[in-house]
Amino acid sequence: MPAELLARKAAAAYSSAMEIYNIIDQRQHLETITRWHHHEWAAMNVGRSFESRLADMQAHLAGNSVPATWIALIDGQPAGSASILDDDMPERPELKPWLASVFTHPDFRHRGIGRALVQRVMDHARDSGFSTLYLYTPDKAHFYAQLDWESFEVLPYHGSTVTLMSWKCN
């Protein structure tokens, strides 16, 4: 079964009340998801303040294809988010764009929300004409492999070992 269909079936099965929006249309939740991201990845971004991260997230409100963020809402409550960025690993500037900041709030995990958000970013990358989308993950390579992502390198990064993965958009 294609990854896109799996993502949609999982989301429908676990939460018929889930809706995914571009953050532009739900800007009142920008600070909430920025707090989530800051809390989740502060250890990999030592020295980066919440204020700096929030300032960077303002660019996601400009309406460009990159950067952009989607938010999943369950009954109007923020449940998760995912982004597309031009650069998520400065050491690899030749790789663009990146799936990044995939996060599901702990209260909403195991309902297909992360999968649906990832699929939404993948659809956006394809619709925007990108040929390849990249990501890195310290511990979720199996999750992304189920969505047709391919591992191509394992390397140390900010105190963790991460897997670099790619997905062909066309």
With a pLDDT cut of 90, the percent of the chain lying above it is 82
Inter-helix orientation angle 3-14/113-127, to 10°: 140
User: What is the pTM (predicted TM-score) of this model?
Assistant: 0.88
Domains of the chain: 3-129 (3.40.630.30)
Tens digit of each residue's pLDDT (9 = 90 or more) over 76-109:
999 999 999 999 999 999 999 999 999 999 999 9
In order along its 170 residues, the chain shows pLDDT tens digits of 455 544 454 544 444 589 999 999 999 999 999 999 999 987 777 788 999 999 999 999 999 999 999 999 999 999 999 999 999 999 999 999 999 999 999 999 999 999 999 999 999 999 999 999 999 999 999 999 999 999 999 999 988 899 999 999 98
Calpha distance 2→135 (Å, rounded): 20
* Cβ count within 10 A of residue 170: 7
Strand partners for 160: 157
